[in-house]
Structure 1
Amino acid sequence: MTTANTVTTPTTAAATSPRIALITGGSRGLGRNAALHVARRGIDVVLTYRSQQAEAQAVVDEIRQSGARAAALQLDVGDSGSFPAFAQALKQTLKQHWQRERFDHLVNNAGLGHYAPLADTTEAQFDELMRVHLKGPFFLTQALLPLLQDGGSVLNVSSGLARFAMPGYGAYAAMKGGVEVLTRYMAKEFGARGIRVNTLAPGAIETDFGGGTVRDNAEVNAFVASVTALGRVGLPDDIGPVVASLLSDDSRWVNAQRVEASGGMFV
């Protein structure tokens, strides 16, 4: 549920208006890394967190040290009923700290993982994955469209698992497959406003996602490295720069595309 809790950096009116990116799930993992790299590109950041306000504050502080400005808002992307209130909180934050009514880039990154064979996946697990990974990005993007700047962009985070199959991730990958289809439809429908929409599909990355299995399980780590053309497991710093590049003007003609950053996993 969206609350009024907001973590911000002290700001003053800027002579020019910087671009602003909203990154969901930006307090840890790939979202945190993306937020830091986006800020290094000179783009200010609003990040969301579900419950870890202290972690969000730490990211905001680090972004501030890089010379960009930042704010953090609480959001549960699995609770679509909270999105209208979140949109209002975002609108107030933009006005208060940037003297702006709109932001430029939306990164639908927040997520969670369940490992279970299809035969053992519960309906509750399936529904949670659906709410967070498919319904959430759909209706959050819808709710924020009035605040998204014409000529901006949306980046939906998918997974390499939508291309290759590994037992135990069927329900998760199905949601990400839906996200990739949704991306193309968004690109088609938002194009009249000059809004680009793309998918970023990371491969296996050493983070705490899914309990940190790829990072902490030596056997899993070695297996992933063995099926990756570049011979190692991905790191967060392999993904953040890709996010920053896809939001930048360097990618202004990249639209409706699926960009996989997996080091050549299962090629």
Structure 2
Amino acid sequence: MTDHSIRGKSVLIAGGAKNLGGLLARDFAEQGARAVAIHYNSAATKAPSEETVAAIKAAGANAFAFQADLTGASAVEKLFADAKAALGGIDIAVNTVGKVVKKPLVDITEAEYDEMTAVNSKSAFFFLKEAGKNVSDNGKVCTLVTSLLGAFTPFYAAYAGTKAPVEHFTRAAAKEFGDRGISVTAIGAGPMDTPFFYPAEGADAVAYHKTASALSKFSTTGLTDIEDIVPFIRFLVSDGWWMTGQTILVNGGYTTK
């Protein structure tokens, strides 16, 4: 019988230095992962990546950190090659990389659109491509998208619109990798209480988001806490392996499909 537990497995997390990715890295180590490799984007994130590496090691797992700008296919290919060599194989691959722009569609510049596409769509596509080439048989792959994929709202055309293709990438990858026992999923979190969220939002919007979920008053912030997302990703890349090719919105009733 195939072992779908996290214990003894090796994990790669893109965007794993801080926020949700950093908490995931720590959680995988605490769940008994043998080794965890985290990716961070730039020198600005080096310090938190070092803190996360130290926390992973303190939990008893081997830890590695790799810096890369994943908007180029060759950089994604190198990340997987370096991580695979360091880890001795990749059993679980999680991509938390993303960028948000909130502004009217008519004000979005070509440069902004191109950057959003590169970060949210292109990097996710090539992450899945390299996962298909490098993740072990019976492995697991999960990508972070957004609950805005279930919303009818203004101002997020570039963000939600460039995350939307990942739904189809996920379905295609699940079909193509399924013969090897690899499950592929996407998680659409609600607005999360992290530094990623606040810069794009004004005070009125923050106040709205903090009350928009059905379960808002039971959250410590009113928003989606990263601690509430980790168990879902943990489940999908372990015992929840039978769910594949799907995007799951996890947001306390913020949006649905």
TM > 0.5 fold call: yes
1:47 aligned residue:
38
- Structure 1 partner of 2:21: 31
**Aligned twin of 2:215:** 230
Partner of 1:120: 107
Alpha carbons 2:16, 2:49 under 8 Å: kept: yes
In the alignment, the residues of structure 2 paired with residue 255 and residue 220 of structure 1 have an alpha-carbon distance, to the nearest angstrom, of: 34
Equivalent residues of 2:13, 2:25 under 8 A apart: yes
Question: How many Å apart are 1:21 and its aligned residue?
Answer: 1.3
Which residue number in structure 2 is paired with residue 261 of structure 1? 250
1:159-194 CA distances to partner (integer Å, 9 max, x unpaired)? Answer: 001110332211110111110111111101110111
* Residue pairs, 1:160-199, within 5 angstroms: 160-199=147-186
Deviation at 1:211, TM superposition (A): 4.4
Q: Which residue of 1 aligns with 2:95?
A: 108
SS of aligned partner of 2:91: strand
Instruction: Give the alignment partner of residue 64 of structure 1, picking from 51, 57, 66.
Output: 57
2-structure distance, mates of 1:60, 1:259: 29
Q: CA deviation at 1:262?
A: 0.3
Give the C-alpha shift of residue 253 in structure 1: 1.2
Instruction: Determine the C-alpha separation between the residues in 2 that align with 1:242 and 1:212.
Output: 26
1:97 match: none
Alpha-carbon distance between aligned partners in 1 of 2:253 and 2:108, rounded to the nearest angstrom: 29
Question: C-alpha distance in 2, partners of 1:91/1:68?
Answer: 16
Could you report, residue by residue, the CA deviation over 1:191-248 in whole angstroms, capped at 9, with x for unpaired residues? 011100011010011101144456xx65333312322100221111111222112111
Structure 2 match to 1:13: none
What is the one-letter code of the residue matched to 1:91?
Answer: K
User: Contact (CA 8 Å) 1:221, 1:233: kept in 2 or not?
Assistant: no
Q: In the alignment, is residue 247 of structure 1 matched against residue 240 of structure 2? A: no
Q: Cα deviation per residue 1:89-131 (whole Å; 9 max; x = unaligned)?
A: 223312xxxxx2x211111211111122111111111111111
Please name the residue that 2:78 is paired with. Answer: 85
**Counterpart amino acid of 1:85?**
K
Q: TM-score normalised to the size of structure 1? A: 0.84
Instruction: Give the counterpart letter for 1:201 in structure 2.
Output: G
Structure 1 segments unaligned to the other structure (5+ residues)? 1-16, 95-99
- The answer as to whether partners of 1:200 and 1:261 remain within 8 angstroms in 2 is yes
Query: Are the equivalent residues in 1 in contact too, given 2:148–2:255 (CA < 8 A)?
Result: no
TM (norm. structure 2) is 0.87
Unaligned runs of at least 5 residues, structure 2 = 1-6, 217-221
Alignment root-mean-square deviation, CA: 1.8
What SS does the corresponding residue of 2:242 show, helix, strand or coil? Answer: coil
- 1:150 maps to 137
How many percent of aligned residue pairs carry the same amino acid?
A: 33
Contact 1:213 1:220 survives alignment (8 Å): no
Deviations, residues 50-90 of structure 1 (Å, cap 9, x unaligned): 11222101001112222222211112111223233333322
